[in-house]
Amino acid sequence: MSPPADLSRAVLLGRLAEARVWDVVVIGGGSTGLGCAVDAAARGYATLLLEAHDFAKGTSSRATKLIHGGVRYLAQGNLPLVREALAERAVLLANAPHLVHPQRFVVPAYHWYDRPMLGVGLGLYDLLAGARGLGRCRVLDPARTVAALPTVNPQGLCGGIAYWDARFDDARMAVALMRTLLDLGGLALNHMPVQGLMVEDGKVRGVHAVDGETGTAFKVAARVVINATGVWADAVRRWERPRAPALLRPSQGVHVVVGHEFLPGTDAMLVPRTEDGRVLFAIPWQGRVLLGTTDTPRPDLPLEPRPLEGEVDFILATAGRYLARAPTRADVTSVFVGLRPLIGAGDASPTRSLSREHVIEVSSGGLVSITGGKWTTYRHMGADAVDSARSVAGLPARDSVTADLRLHGTTAGPSDDPYGSDRAEVQALPGAGIPILDGLDLSEAEVRFAVRRELARTVEDVLARRHRALFVDAALAAAAAPRVAALLAEELERDEAWAAAQVAAFEALAAGYRLA
């Protein structure tokens, strides 16, 4: 795949303004929307994706950073979902080896019966993975458990179980999917909110969109529209049918980030059952340790959700019972929250028990809405949604090809560089090797690349998603904002007042990722 020569916003807006009818228009630039758009474009359909804010602004940048079959779903007996997710894990490891990496997990055991019980369950996990497994689970004695998890609480430790899954960088994956869509000839625009549907003779014929930067309105004609807006999908469904019953029962998951010293080494830790019946992960990530998560109903759907009372303390207390030194609120460098689009409106069950499978609804007017799911199965979800969209629009019958589609930036083998094969292009830009700030692995060239090739438009776009500074260390990210804003102003030909407003907005945002 070769990327378009010019990815400037002016050129992309010029394409949007052309008088044409798109085969597929996707609303929503998270994992599901991007998966739908890439699948449609790969089949040869003329495809447009519109995102109100930035790619992966919502839930899709706030995941637990795992590509996994789901040990908890195994415990629930949902073997088909586990099998599907494990198959998709293998696809992602092959198609994005610069972003998805094998990760060993260790489950510490503190009762004599834990190891045999966990061994049976995780043995079944390996069996479901089949030939696509990453390594067999292993029973560990106490010494080997401590060697894997040097800071594990040794009191009463009986040993542990080691098994394999995969980790990834969710926001960088979203950027790679956006670039893949452009490589395939599709069009993606962020900061372009859709404000309504074009309905003619009872059928959905397109969307009304507005450029979030200039206020310019666009009428976009389409043969079919896919609603992939995550927790906001019910609101989009009601543009067409104001009384449409809700499909979703959203919940929120909180993650806290602490220093690497709390879990040195490369192995992650899994706590198999917390007091509220969930699992808790401690995962080495971006030079820190990610702890999470919670599962709390959240019907109000804020764009920037914050932890509810007690959620952070619950995570810290639970982790503290399994670590030699318990992390405190003073150790937290960032806290972030994602909203899950769970299927289950009207279901009174705890949200942790609701299905993570996806549902596709086709309205009488032909709006295709896809809801539910998770990052691991985004590709399969996209293929299912496009199958439905193809039928609605009467498009030529073509099968999905994304199971074998290498994503933008893919390298010949595994790589720890999130830019993958783009690294040479990054290094050719001014400022290569010049850090934005001490302690932050972000160069001036990478900021310029974010603007020129990755459609970044704001300081937040750069420091939250093109780079993960906000999610790793909110204070450090805020300190980097002035220099990033100056570079953005230069690249986008903005004035000092614009740069100052960007810094102020980002500092206010970053304050919400810090604990008082």
The residue among 12, 4, 24 whose CA lies nearest residue 457 is 12
Reported confidence tier of residue 473, pLDDT bands at 50, 70, 90: very high
In a domain, 93, yes or no: no
d(CA 474, CA 468): 10
How close are the terminal C-alpha atoms of the chain, in Å? 47
Q: Tell whether the model's pLDDT for residue 121 goes beyond 90.
A: no
**CB-based burial, 415-445: b 16+ in 10 Å, e otherwise:** beebbbebbeebeebebeeeebbeebebbbb
Q: Is 233 a residue whose pLDDT tops 90?
A: yes
CATH at residue 296: 3.30.9.10
* Contact criterion met (CB below 8 Å) for 98 and 417: yes
Q: Is the pLDDT of residue 449 over 80?
A: yes
Q: Count Cβ atoms below 10 Å from residue 328 Cβ, excluding itself.
A: 12
Q: Which of 389, 404, 419 is the last residue of a domain?
A: 404
Residue 71 lies in a domain: no
Q: Flag whether 341 is in a domain.
A: yes
Which of 350, 395, 392 is CA-nearest to residue 370? 392
Residues 316 and 396 in one domain: no
Better-predicted residue by pLDDT, 353 or 486: 486
Distance CA 2, CA 116 (A): 51
* CA-closest candidate to residue 244, choices 385, 342, 364, 384: 364
Q: What is the pLDDT of residue 3?
A: 59
pLDDT at 273 (0 to 100): 84
C-beta of residue 202 within 8 angstroms of C-beta of residue 361: no
Residues 337 and 469 in one domain: no
Residue 155 counted as domain residue: yes
Name the domain count of the chain. 3
- pLDDT above 90: residue 513: yes
**Prediction pTM value:** 0.96
486 touches 477 (CB < 8 A): no
pLDDT of residue 354: 47
In a domain, 221, yes or no: yes
* Poorest-pLDDT segment among 84-88, 185-189, 396-400: 84-88
pLDDT score at 353: 45
Shared domain check, 155 and 287: yes
Beta bridge partners of 251: 297, 340
On whether both 237 and 373 belong to a single domain, the answer is yes
Q: Do 485 and 463 meet the contact criterion of CB atoms below 8 Å apart? A: no
Q: Specify whether the CB–CB gap between 7 and 182 falls below 8 A.
A: yes
The residue among 345, 369, 394 that closes a domain is 345
* pLDDT-derived band at 458, boundaries 50, 70, 90: very high
Question: What's the average model confidence in pLDDT over 281-286?
Answer: 97
In a domain, residue 389? The reply is yes
State which residues form the domain around 138. Answer: 100-167+249-345
Tell me, yes or no, whether 81 lies in a domain: no
Are 139 and 261 within one domain?
yes
Q: What percent of the chain has pLDDT over 70?
A: 97
Mean pLDDT over each residue of the chain, to the nearest integer:
94
| CATH, residue 359 | 3.50.50.60
Task: Judge contact between 59 and 30, C-beta under 8 A.
Answer: yes
Q: What is the pLDDT of residue 351?
A: 47
**DSSP assignment of 327-343:** --GGG-SEEEEEEE--B
Residue 322 lies in a domain: yes
Check whether residue 43 and residue 190 sit in a common domain.
yes
Query: Is pLDDT at 335 greater than 80 in this prediction?
Result: yes
Strands (E), 211-298: 217-227, 251-259, 268-271, 280-285, 288-292, 296-297
- Domain stop point among 323, 345, 367: 345
Residue 112 and residue 24 share a domain:
no
Select from 207, 318, 178, 301 the least CA-distant residue to 250: 301
Please tell me the predicted confidence (pLDDT) of residue 70: 80
pLDDT, one tens digit per residue, over 300-325 is 999 999 999 999 999 999 999 999 99
Helix (H, G, I), strand (E, B) or coil at 57: coil
Q: What is the mean pLDDT of residues 413-429?
A: 95
Q: What is the mean pLDDT of residues 248-276?
A: 94
The reply to whether 329 and 474 lie within a common domain is: no
Query: 273 and 157 share a domain?
Result: yes
Tens of pLDDT, residue by residue over 19-61, are 999 999 999 999 999 999 999 999 999 999 999 999 999 999 9
pLDDT digits (tens, 9 = 90+) for 95-107: 999 999 999 999 9
Same structural domain, 228 and 287: no
pLDDT at 155 > cutoff 60: yes
Average of per-residue pLDDT across 52-76: 91
For the cut 70, the answer to whether the pLDDT of residue 1 exceeds it is no
Residues 158 and 266 in one domain: yes
- 210 and 197 in a single domain? The answer is yes
Average pLDDT over residues 466-480: 98
Give the model confidence (pLDDT) of 349-396 as tens digits. Answer: 554 544 557 899 999 999 999 999 899 999 999 999 999 999 999 999
Contact 63, 173 (CB under 8 A): no
